[in-house]
């Protein structure tokens, strides 16, 4: 049976009972299920969460992954969605179905900005950007109007770590529900439900699945909230494919091992790069010089995650040269792979109609390079960066 230790917990998922005693979980690659009689079918169609009828609503592989993530996040329930983006949209619609204010950090995942500004604003929601690193600013934004507060455990790309416990308490004092995107921290480093988060969201695509082979998301929280979320996922068709859920669960079983290694590697890499002259600043919450290091120490467990961002003295040109100089670290517009990859956070451009696009972060200046540190041999990663930095003219 599963121990309480996270390394045992992640191994326990293979212990699912199956009719054949299979050690590896079977894949239920089916869209629909057959019934013995009309009564049994009608009964299940009226109580969809009690069994399996049609895979848009429920599938055993998605259920197994959801149970696993709920266990790691310490929530009553969880629900897998077709993407992290679908999970974010589902969480907002679950917590605020009828419009209202959506309070977002100044620096937030670009897809969240897109959902809130492009999809939800025309439907009557009002986006409000707040500096979540300033509790007084958050308190001022928490008026009595209906709202939802959307937070992230570790921000992209600069690794801000807001005081989530304090902010969640402030929101709850005003009856404002809170969702936390925990993608960058993963449950290995943080369990936001402990601080009262009403829904915890992940892009499972990234560290939880961990092998760059699926697009998936998850929403975790109380059984009641997850039931409400399930109506949106079924009704909106934000459902995962069974094979994707199976792959993600296979990946998730090594989450603790991968995060242990990747976050150690990230700290080593950040410390090695920080003193280099071509780098103005190294952003990693595990470095004593990071502005949120004190919060990271207090709130994160077992390390500080796998994302390190460099700000280069030579600006965008130096970023292009550094990327060109890397011998085997690849340029990938995502994160959370087994290997170390880099991405280039881009400053906001104008929309085709000439209006400025809402920024995912006012701190992005084109001279930054985001590194998603993998489980590779860190000495070789450091060496690749040293060589590439030396090639900057």
Ligand X SMILES: *Cc1c(COP(=O)(O)O)cnc(C)c1O
CB 195 within 8 A of CB 168: yes
Does residue number 286 form part of the binding site for ligand X (CB under 6 A)?
A: no
The least CB distance from residue 182 to ligand X, in Å, is 8
Question: Which is closer to ligand X, CB of 109 or CB of 363?
Answer: 109
User: Of 85, 264, 341, 372, which lies in the binding site for ligand X, with binding defined by CB under 6 A?
Assistant: 85
Does residue number 215 form part of the binding site for ligand X (CB under 6 A)?
A: yes
Sheet of 77-81: strand order equals: 77-81, 217-221, 199-203, 178-181, 147-152, 100-105, 125-130
The window from 39-47, 161-169, 202-210, 360-368 that contacts ligand X (CB under 6 A) reads 202-210
Per-residue binding letters, 120-159, with ligand X (x by CB under 6 A):
------------------------------------x---
The least CB distance from residue 294 to ligand X, in Å, is 23
The window from 39-47, 142-150, 180-188, 238-246 that contacts ligand X (CB under 6 A) reads 180-188
Structure-block tokens of residue 319: 């970023």
Does residue number 368 form part of the binding site for ligand X (CB under 6 A)?
A: no
The least CB distance from residue 119 to ligand X, in Å, is 13
The least CB distance from residue 19 to ligand X, in Å, is 33
Does residue number 183 form part of the binding site for ligand X (CB under 6 A)?
A: yes
Count of residues near ligand X by CB under 6 A = 15
Question: Which is closer to ligand X, CB of 103 or CB of 279?
Answer: 103
User: Of 59, 186, 203, 309, which lies in the binding site for ligand X, with binding defined by CB under 6 A?
Assistant: 203
The least CB distance from residue 314 to ligand X, in Å, is 27
Backbone angles phi, psi at 100, to 5 degrees: 130, -170
Question: Which is closer to ligand X, CB of 207 or CB of 392?
Answer: 207
SS (H, E, C) 37-98: CHHHHHHHHHCHHHCCCECCCCCHHHHHHHHHHHHHHCCCEEEEECCHHHHHHHHHHHHCCC
Does residue number 309 form part of the binding site for ligand X (CB under 6 A)?
A: no
User: Of 58, 129, 189, 206, which lies in the binding site for ligand X, with binding defined by CB under 6 A?
Assistant: 206
Kindly report the number of other CB atoms within 10 A of residue 19's CB atom.
6
The window from 177-185, 192-200, 226-234, 253-261 that contacts ligand X (CB under 6 A) reads 177-185
Give which of 212, 213, 175, 216 is closest to 196, Cα–Cα. 175
Does residue number 217 form part of the binding site for ligand X (CB under 6 A)?
A: yes
User: Under rule CB under 6 A, which residues in 93-122 are in contact with ligand X?
Assistant: 109, 111
The least CB distance from residue 176 to ligand X, in Å, is 21
Give which of 341, 150, 318 is closest to 262, Cα–Cα. 341
The window from 82-90, 91-99, 116-124, 140-148 that contacts ligand X (CB under 6 A) reads 82-90
Who's near 60: CB < 8 A, 6+ residues apart?
28, 52, 242
Does residue number 205 form part of the binding site for ligand X (CB under 6 A)?
A: yes
With b for 16 or more beta-carbon neighbours within 10 A and e for fewer, the 103-120 pattern comes to bbbbbbbbbbbbbbbeeb
Structure-block tokens of residue 29: 């690659």
Does residue number 385 form part of the binding site for ligand X (CB under 6 A)?
A: no
Give which of 92, 66, 90 is closest to 79, Cα–Cα. 66
Question: Which is closer to ligand X, CB of 85 or CB of 279?
Answer: 85
CB 335 within 8 A of CB 372: yes
Backbone angles phi, psi at 362, to 5 degrees: -75, -5
The least CB distance from residue 360 to ligand X, in Å, is 10
Query: Facing residues of 119 across strands?
Result: none
Query: How far, in Å, CA of 163 to CA of 159, rounded?
Result: 13
The least CB distance from residue 305 to ligand X, in Å, is 11
Q: Which helix (H) or strand (E) holds 224?
A: helix 223-236
Quick one: DSSP state of residue 336? -
Chain residues in the site for ligand X (CB under 6 A): 83-85, 88, 109, 111, 156, 181, 183-184, 203, 205-206, 215, 217
């Amino acid at each position: 049976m599963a121990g309480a230790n996270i390394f045992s917990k992640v191994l326990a998922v293979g212990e699912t009972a199956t009719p054949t005693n299979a050690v590896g979980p079977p894949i239920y690659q089916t869209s629909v299920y057959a019934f013995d009689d009309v009564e049994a079918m009608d009964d299940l169609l009226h109580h969809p969460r009690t069994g399996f009828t049609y895979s848009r609503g429920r599938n055993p592989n998605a259920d197994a992954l959801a149970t696993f993530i709920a266990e790691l996040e310490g929530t009553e329930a969880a629900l897998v969605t077709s993407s992290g983006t679908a999970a974010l949209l589902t969480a907002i619609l679950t917590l605020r179905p009828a419009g209202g204010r959506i309070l977002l950090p100044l620096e937030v995942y670009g897809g969240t900005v897109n959902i809130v500004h492009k999809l939800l604003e025309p439907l009557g929601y009002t986006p409000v950007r707040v500096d979540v690193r300033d509790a007084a600013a958050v308190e001022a934004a928490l008026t009595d109007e209906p709202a939802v507060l959307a937070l992230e455990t570790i921000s992209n790309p600069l690794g801000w770590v807001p005081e989530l416990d304090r902010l969640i308490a402030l929101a709850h004092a005003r009856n404002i529900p809170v969702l936390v995107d925990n993608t960058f921290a993963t449950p290995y480093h943080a369990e936001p439900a402990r601080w009262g988060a009403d829904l915890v969201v992940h892009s499972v695509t990234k560290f939880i699945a961990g092998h760059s082979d699926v697009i998936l998301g998850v929403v975790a929280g109380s059984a009641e909230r997850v039931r409400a979320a399930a109506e949106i996922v079924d009704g909106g068709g934000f459902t995962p494919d069974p094979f994707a859920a199976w792959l993600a669960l296979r990946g998730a079983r090594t989450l603790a091992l991968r995060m242990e290694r990747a976050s150690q590697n990230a700290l080593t890499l950040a410390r090695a790069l920080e003193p280099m002259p071509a780098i103005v600043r190294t952003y990693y919450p595990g470095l004593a010089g990071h502005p949120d290091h004190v919060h990271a120490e207090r709130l994160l467990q077992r390390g500080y995650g796998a994302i390190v961002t460099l700000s280069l003295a030579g600006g965008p040109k130096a970023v292009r040269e550094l990327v060109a100089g890397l011998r085997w670290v690849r340029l990938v517009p995502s994160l959370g792979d087994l290997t170390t990859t880099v991405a280039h956070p881009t400053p906001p451009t104008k929309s085709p109609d000439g209006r400025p696009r809402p920024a995912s972060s006012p701190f992005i200046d084109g001279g930054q390079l985001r590194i998603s540190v993998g489980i590779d041999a860190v000495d070789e990663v450091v060496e690749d960066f040293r060589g590439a930095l030396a090639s900057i003219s």
